[in-house]
Structure 1
């Protein structure tokens, strides 16, 4: 049935006119729009640009943020309050001999202290102009150092120059608001071997350090009777110079006087200023002697280029009082604080003598009570030596303030660390008059026996330098004076580099004193509570940045990368600079000494956490894992060597050879580079044990990680006792005589350092370990006890003998002759001889 088209009616019901009907058009296909590829590309490009800009600025921000981390201090509360060293909080320690780099001088524990010091010259000597001031090995003194020093209130030092000896003494007296008064007494006596009576010029000086002022008060004949001054930390003060006499109560001797009052651009320039002011026009004319010209300070003007940034505010007042007098003589210098209101008398003459005698008696009594050497039967000469060793460490305490120079991989150039103080002992007044992180742990093993409060302060100063990452700069070079003694290549500290955490050794000692109730828990526990957050982040920094290639292994960062110039690339960060490691530094290395330090540190951390009631399980687990002798053997025991060893990319077929420099025919040789010694590798390295027998091999034994029944102890004791390996009549050598690198130079300029010589810090650990294993039950108890007595005797006898013969305690000792060598005096860790004598471990 067909469908009818429906008609649409109009509004009035009349049909609309009919239109011609057309066939419906077929549906139109919409034309597809062409994609505008150009616009898409532009949009994508814009998006990528925006993303790149965002990423660029984010990367800049992150790099800037990471770059700032190296100089961002840790946010936990400081262990020490900002005013902890102030005279209000610690008046007895405010003034001190805190300038270890000079032969004699004092300053306060404050950022910009007024400093005082002594220079001297031997007039009419063969070498004119022989000015002594900073401790220099090149001065070739017959010996110098503190004979007695209690670390707080007094000290007695002898300085043996060529024809005379200077004795410098000081005593402090508490009173007032700025650390009280002090007096120096300088005594000069000629040697019996002197060909003529020496005439000596003493130059007493005072200098401000950018703040405060000084005024010299000059009498007739150019004699400075006193210097008055003022500074923010000291208020008003007066320094009075006595006249030289032949001794206490004697009349004044003939003397000539000169003075210099000028401005100094820095404390590191004081010696140069005096040298450049010297004039030979002055006449020394004693009543019964010939007239002779002598050197004396005259005039000096600071030039603009010497002044830091030409800023007059940075200049310091500098006053020098010179006294030229014939030996023997005695001179006193008196410092009086303006705030000392009820002074009973002046600390001079017989009053000073009485005070000195009281302090000496108290020192002797405390020394015997602490170390008991007299009770052990040591001679008076041995005891005098031991007192000098301790006193030199105490007299070598320094107070430094300023910024380190540091760098991370995120810094294009070195940057300045935040300014801060550091109160620390120094290894050597002549060569290393600054703070070293791994040395300080050894220093405090001795000082903690003498003065626990001192050790806590030093500990706090070091840990307060930690940054947000948990890193402490390993070498502290904090001011211009310190930097003037350091080669430029060693000044910048890199934040990926560690140093052995020996402070855990000292902390272990403090915890043992706490357990034995030798120190008060009321003072120790608050100290540990403040220290703990910083110890945590320090330990964690080691446990993350120094990890090795396999679980539970560790690797020192910072090895020398230029393998072409070193027989064996150095590892300064380990403290054992040129000790043989893997010949080709790589990320595959495992270092046994660092493994052992971390074992010690984890155990101490667990103990501290337990004492404080803090969660300790993580540290306990780490310590339990690392103490597992099976794991230690798996990672570090070399069956070929029968010793513990490093592991890495190594070959022993290396040597230093003269570099070949091609000189074209007819060309002058001097126009071409000097031939150097470069390393020749005769056999390619491979991953293996390094197999160097020496100090590193002993670390599991030295730090008591081996169980008493470990069969590895037998091999270690055999190596210790073998003269062809480690044993000598003077102590244990650092590297076996059989090792290919024994006593080999590392470069044409670097003599062997840890490749044979005897070092007292490691020998102390060896004696301590032998005492430990010789005192507990085990199959090696008797043998360890016998070796303990022999090694202890050898060390004591040799260090003492060299002190008597040379006047010094030394950095290291020759393994063939026992002679002292290296820097001297070295009364840092070499002073541990006192603990060996006292058997205090």
Structure 2
């Protein structure tokens, strides 16, 4: 069996690009130069033996002139070797954070896309705006209800936080460009945040936000709530300034400002309706963009009302240190306290917008919101046909909210990751870069995740392909010289403040499933049907990076046997974990071989590379590149006979991982107060890891099994076995008869991918069943039957849980169907929209 060796350096396009590059040699070339130098130095120090004998003879006879020369040459050789070694090490230390030498995919950024310059690009806060600029001004909402406390402090809401325990919040309408309408239900108040834009001028135009505060029950009518709307400057924008203005009779607060990101601007806080009890201001220096709420806490004071008993909490006005003689604020907060119900309009106006028809407030704001909201509903039905499919109004509202939360969860981040290469002794910063991306969860994961993003954009691309292509471009522009992309992006101080230290550093050998290719794969039908000039240019810019990524997988993640692949990053020495985690696979604690070795064969990674090979060949043909080597790789990897030889377990009668494994292990306390450790009761052996779960069905999920294969029939039959994956709520991640089903992986880590129902994998299953039910073969009817049942089970359960809890969840119980994990999780769980719309 011959190993498929995909080498970028064999492609003429690669060689041409290297000639045009920055002068960096590929690591293999650099290493060869050092080895050549080493050989030369050895040759210098180890002249032929006859010369040495002659030198010794001359020395004995008194002719010793060659001895100092030989010593000098030996010393020089050692010096050369030492210098070469340290130069090589220093060179290799810089490679982890050296960008790939290729044109960027994102050719239009910032103000080159004015219609998407401003946005709700701060998904980690309940409501906030910024522009797509590295040093953007930021605005946002905080609020509190007098008398509400949390952890013995006034309950000021700002960051999306599960600890706030809000009954519900999330976008109900969001198109990613012009409009967003969100409902937030707190303990005793309901807020609605509405955001709309109006293009004009040189800096992305104007926008307005309406914050509506409503009582939760009739008893709360007339109660009070305080809204705090702020503007904060990025410390990196040294020339930016903001200054509060004296309020008019109509305005509750105003400011003027200027920054590199938006030029000159004004912001007004206006009373839209209701009774305003009081309003206050805080003008100060913030302690960092990740500590805005802490700065507000420092600025709160108790004020005396009209009567002696009437006291309330308000902002302090100006607050500067004694040493700050300039008293120039970079953080201004406007507090408006009103009687429920009341509304406040926030109006942002760009100084470069000279011919606006009037302020976007009051009736003009209501009209603009209405027009864009109507268009959203029309576009949604056109793209997903929910009404035509007979879904109820409640189900359609759920689907719109799921899509809107995915789109409204798109953020813009800027900063540098912390990375560690194999030649680095300590983590180093990646280069500073922007990232435009969706996030898995606004409350728990408000940052970019590589493997999540491919699933996210399956939905985003069906809604707005331009947004999706822009997102993918930003991710691929984070690729280093070697074709590696850090799998978790923690960019900027706000994102960094929410991540434990242990998860910050990204390691250069660690992969993540190349799910961005799923999105490109789903776009291929459109590209093949009608490839525009813009599409051709986009794919052409993407091509060098796609090829580098593909080659990186084919050099760093290969297994020992030809045709096999192995995820790196498992810890073979751990004694704390029942089964060493495989975080790089995205499936975390899913059971792999119990004793990680180089002999492992990971089925899911091989399937990802099969998909990648076929896609690379398709894209190559579209942009007039040579697809031969990708076609060859795809034919080899999709050959069911080879797949079966490497991964079909005849003992379990299914597709499995392979490695050094035993099921005879447990977590046990070896001493009364000691931490639980893994105890192995049986000798591990090289064999298949015979536990049915998501990995076992990857050849089905990624549509690699031949429609006429007898094994397809067996896999489909196994899929509906209730003792394996099938439940009334969707497919569980691990079969009930697995030795590790629902077991903790450490004393402190509950099961994660060991039984729970995950929507991204169920989407792949539903999509695959739809495929096999529409291609000829003996298993077509069975695939159709399973497709109808599984789609119905998943959709009904996710909708039911949303109705019951107010949220879409990270995963669902395989026993009860109840939502579990973090919430809201409108990342890949929102793929239920595509299942409802049968948009694959």
TM-score, structure 2 as length reference = 0.90
Match of 2:139 in 1: 116
How do 1:362-441 and structure 2 match up within 5 A? 362-441=375-454
Match of 2:494 in 1: 481
In the alignment, which of 56, 73, 78 is matched to residue 52 of structure 1?
78
How do 1:448-467 and structure 2 match up within 5 A? 448-467=461-480
In the alignment, which of 117, 127, 139 is matched to residue 104 of structure 1?
127
Aligned pairs, how many? 779
State the structure with more CA Rg: 1
- Alpha-carbon offset, residue 297 of structure 1: 2.5
How do 1:568-587 and structure 2 match up within 5 A? 568-587=579-598
8 Å CA contact 1:266, 1:316 repeated in 2: no
1:459-480 per-position Cα deviation (integer Å, ceiling 9, x unaligned): 1111111111000111111111
Is the aligned partner of 1:555 residue 2:581?
no
8 Å CA contact 2:58, 2:64 repeated in 1: no
| Distance in 2 of aligned mates of 1:205 and 1:468 | 41
| Distance in 2 of aligned mates of 1:692 and 1:645 | 7
Specify whether residues 340 and 691 from structure 1 end up closer, same or farther in structure 2 by C-alpha distance, changes over 3 A only: same
- When structure 1 is superposed on structure 2, of 270-279 and 543-552 the one drifting more is 270-279
8 Å CA contact 1:222, 1:257 repeated in 2: no
- Alpha-carbon offset, residue 33 of structure 1: 6.9
Is the aligned partner of 1:542 residue 2:553?
yes
Match of 1:725 in 2: 724
| Distance in 1 of aligned mates of 2:427 and 2:504 | 10
In the alignment, which of 518, 523, 532 is matched to residue 510 of structure 1?
523
Is the aligned partner of 1:94 residue 2:140?
no
Specify whether residues 346 and 472 from structure 1 end up closer, same or farther in structure 2 by C-alpha distance, changes over 3 A only: same
- Alpha-carbon offset, residue 659 of structure 1: 2.9
Match of 1:500 in 2: 513
Match of 1:294 in 2: 312
Specify whether residues 694 and 132 from structure 1 end up closer, same or farther in structure 2 by C-alpha distance, changes over 3 A only: same
Give me the CA root mean square deviation.
2.3
8 Å CA contact 1:163, 1:193 repeated in 2: no
1:578-632 per-position Cα deviation (integer Å, ceiling 9, x unaligned): 0000111111111000000000000000000011111110001000000000000
Specify whether residues 819 and 38 from structure 1 end up closer, same or farther in structure 2 by C-alpha distance, changes over 3 A only: farther
| Distance in 2 of aligned mates of 1:32 and 1:521 | 80
| Distance in 2 of aligned mates of 1:58 and 1:265 | 47
In the alignment, which of 228, 247, 253 is matched to residue 225 of structure 1?
253
Match of 2:211 in 1: 186
- Alpha-carbon offset, residue 657 of structure 1: 0.4
| Distance in 1 of aligned mates of 2:738 and 2:608 | 24
8 Å CA contact 1:596, 1:705 repeated in 2: yes
| Distance in 1 of aligned mates of 2:324 and 2:358 | 42
8 Å CA contact 1:567, 1:656 repeated in 2: yes
In the alignment, which of 189, 199, 202 is matched to residue 224 of structure 2?
199
8 Å CA contact 1:273, 1:300 repeated in 2: no
Match of 1:282 in 2: 303
| Distance in 1 of aligned mates of 2:313 and 2:691 | 56
Specify whether residues 38 and 392 from structure 1 end up closer, same or farther in structure 2 by C-alpha distance, changes over 3 A only: farther
| Distance in 1 of aligned mates of 2:61 and 2:582 | 64
8 Å CA contact 1:256, 1:323 repeated in 2: yes
TM-score, structure 1 as length reference = 0.89
Match of 1:259 in 2: 281
| Distance in 2 of aligned mates of 1:194 and 1:126 | 20
Match of 1:307 in 2: none
- When structure 1 is superposed on structure 2, of 32-41 and 830-839 the one drifting more is 32-41
8 Å CA contact 2:438, 2:827 repeated in 1: yes
Is the aligned partner of 1:349 residue 2:349?
no
Match of 2:267 in 1: 239
8 Å CA contact 2:175, 2:404 repeated in 1: yes
| Distance in 2 of aligned mates of 1:817 and 1:571 | 27
| Distance in 1 of aligned mates of 2:59 and 2:97 | 60
How do 1:22-61 and structure 2 match up within 5 A? 34=60, 46-61=72-87
In the alignment, which of 334, 341, 350 is matched to residue 328 of structure 1?
341
How do 1:801-840 and structure 2 match up within 5 A? 801-840=800-839
In the alignment, which of 61, 64, 77 is matched to residue 90 of structure 2?
64
| Distance in 1 of aligned mates of 2:164 and 2:285 | 27
Structure 2 residue runs of 5 or longer lacking an equivalent are: 1-56
Structure 1 residue runs of 5 or longer lacking an equivalent are: 1-30, 247-252, 305-309, 662-673
Match of 2:105 in 1: 79
Specify whether residues 652 and 276 from structure 1 end up closer, same or farther in structure 2 by C-alpha distance, changes over 3 A only: same
- When structure 1 is superposed on structure 2, of 196-205 and 725-734 the one drifting more is 196-205
| Distance in 1 of aligned mates of 2:61 and 2:324 | 70
- Alpha-carbon offset, residue 244 of structure 1: 5.5
